[in-house]
Amino acid sequence: MQTLTSIVKEVRKKKGFLRAGIYQDVEDEISILLYQEWVNHQSAEALFASELFTVLRGAGSLMCTPPEFMTLVVGPMSVTKVEQLEILHQQEEQNDETNIC
């Protein structure tokens, strides 16, 4: 955990970094999640190509199970998407009202 903390301190200095957190499962101490947010995909990709990420991957080799690296790209929702979600929600409410058992 100490190694991850020191790596995150360095990650915070990278251009485009927004926030990060290290989370440990209370029921499974060897299960750890390192969560990071970046302003855009390019900023995250720059980290993945850096020596710092190589160090992070190396730290993963010391863990009991091999680490899983996952990237989730989330962009701002457009008004159109928000409107679509509202329409779907309204349709679900209408279906719930008509499907009373």
Mind listing the pLDDT tens digit for each residue in 9-62? 998 999 988 888 888 889 988 888 888 888 888 888 898 899 988 888 887 777
| Tally of structural domains, the chain | 1
Average pLDDT of the segment spanning 63-85: 65
pLDDT tens digits, one per residue of 50-70:
998 888 888 777 777 777 777
Query: Does some domain include residue 95?
Result: no
Query: Does some domain include residue 96?
Result: no
Query: Does some domain include residue 63?
Result: yes
Range with lowest mean pLDDT among 37-41, 59-63, 83-87, 97-101: 97-101
Query: Does some domain include residue 87?
Result: no
* pLDDT score of 82: 58
Please give the C-alpha separations between residue 27 and each of 24, 58, 68, in angstroms, as whole numbers: 9, 25, 19
Domain hosting 44: range is 2-74
Q: Is the pTM of this model over 0.75?
A: no
45: which 2 tokens?
């990709």
Residue positions counted in the chain: 101
Q: Which of 62, 21, 69, 32 lies closest to 48, judged by CA?
A: 69
The CATH number linked to 25 is: 3.30.70.100
